[in-house]
Amino acid sequence: MASQPTARDRLLDAAEDLAATQGVNITSVDAILDRARVSPATLYAHFGNKEGLITEALRRRLARWDTTWQECIDDADSREEKLLAVFTALSRHRRALTPSRWCVFLGVAAETPHPGRDLQDTLAADTRLLLGRLEDLAGPVVGAEQAPLLARRIVLVYTGVLGMILRGADVDAATAEGRSIAALALHAVGAAAPAVRR
């Protein structure tokens, strides 16, 4: 028989689900406690406060995103496909977790103009992962000199896809369109770059 989620896990699940669907500011501590079926003392004992709970929920979500994205990279057959796998991963990630209105990290950043250090570091970790991995994947395709430019352009397209999801676009259609635009950016940067050994 499967073990029941701990109080800590229930708090993380509740915080993530509510933040993803309603936003952080509108989600009260009482709503999280009610969803998780725990007392205030349990929340404060595990996380200190609401921001501590949100921070830990984001860290867990980032770890899951990291895993899903890496799986999609591993499944891709070519260097170009590995670079564009971020869009496949986005679609798969959203099917695996509570569907958010767009990006939970961007949502929390928008709603929290003055985050504490831990939350700020966690939000920055999402950006570092996105830019860093795309730059690493872009290097073998367009060369190390052009890789940062291509990574930034793909992040811009990726962020646009998230914005379209917020506007109500179908996730699979938006990610497919984003992939196509990112492929154009790849070819444009690649055409201007020195030949890269295959």
The dihedral region occupied by 90, where left means phi > 0, alpha psi between -120 and 50, and beta the remainder, is: alpha
> How much of the chain is in helix, strand and coil states, percent to nearest 5?
75, 0, 25
Length of the chain: 198
- DSSP helix/strand/coil, 25: coil
Residue type, 192: A
pTM of the model: 0.91
Residue 2 is predicted with a pLDDT of 61
Instruction: Judge whether 19 lies within some domain.
Output: no
Q: How many beta carbons lie within 10 A of that of residue 38, not counting itself?
A: 19
Taking each helix axis from N to C end, the angle separating 117-142 and 171-192, rounded to the nearest 10 degrees, works out to 50
Classified as helix, coil or strand, 3 is coil
pLDDT at res. 197: 47
Indicate which CATH number applies to the domain containing 182. Answer: 1.10.357.10
155: nearest Cα among 127, 177, 175: 127
In a domain, 47, yes or no: no
Give the domain extent around 186: 59-192
pLDDT of 108: 95
Q: Tell me, yes or no, whether 7 lies in a domain.
A: no
Calculate the dihedral angle through the C-alpha atoms of 137, 138, 142, 143, rounding to the nearest 10 degrees: -70
Asked whether residue 71 is domain-assigned, the answer is: yes
Residue 195's pLDDT is 56
- Answer yes or no: is 22 within a domain: no
Indicate whether 46 belongs to any domain.
no
Q: Examine residue 44 and state whether it is found in any structural domain, yes or no.
A: no
Instruction: Count up the domains in the chain and report the number.
Output: 1
Residue 48 lies inside a defined structural domain of this protein: no
Q: Write out the chain's pLDDT in tens, 198 residues.
A: 568 899 999 999 999 999 989 999 999 999 999 999 999 999 999 999 999 999 999 999 999 999 999 999 999 999 999 999 999 999 999 888 777 888 999 999 999 999 999 999 999 999 999 999 999 999 999 999 999 999 999 999 999 999 999 999 999 999 999 999 999 999 999 887 665 544
